[in-house]
Amino acid sequence: MKIAAITGLTQESLQDLRRRRIRTFEIRSAHNLQAFSEIGPGDKVFLTDVALPDLVPGLCGCIAMVKGVDIRMHRMTYTTQSNIEERETLSGRIQLILHSTGKVRDVYPVEVYKPIYVDAIEVAMCEAR
């Protein structure tokens, strides 16, 4: 199945998802936020702790179903004696329900300003091959 991938998550957060079966992640990385433009409640995503350049066929991770998505803009103001600087950052929260363990069969070419997609299959157990 072709699904969006969210990469670079911590191993602890993925273990927490496996243990509790539901978890909300706060995403700030731009390449992961792009997935939010194409997914919604009921869609599936592939989650992994590896960085985007290391996403290769054979990699194991979690397949989860999206329960909710929320995107927010945060505005921060920094002041010094001579300046006032304002910054905006975009972050997203995604609530996921664990569906299964998955294995990447293929990684689709990365397109600029598009989510990362993988062809993932559900597996009962991941083997190193």
- Mean pLDDT in residue range 88-116: 92
- Mean pLDDT in residue range 92-103: 95
d(CA 8, CA 46): 11
Coil, strand, or helix at residue 99?
strand
pLDDT-based confidence at residue 46 (cuts at 50, 70, 90) = very high
Residue 59 has pLDDT above 70, yes or no: yes
List domains and CATH numbers for the chain.
2-123 (2.30.130.40)
pLDDT in tens, 61-94: 999 999 999 999 988 898 888 898 998 989 999 9
Residue 17 token pair: 């998802």
pLDDT-based confidence at residue 129 (cuts at 50, 70, 90) = low
**pTM flag (> 0.85):** yes
Residue written as tokens 């397109």?
111
Q: What is the pLDDT of residue 126?
A: 63
d(CA 38, CA 3): 10
Q: Kindly report each contact of residues 14-20 with a partner whose C-beta sits within 8 Å and lies 24 or more positions away, as own/partner.
A: 14/47, 14/48, 14/49, 14/61, 14/62, 17/47, 17/62, 17/64, 17/96, 17/98, 18/62, 18/98
Residue written as tokens 């996403």?
55
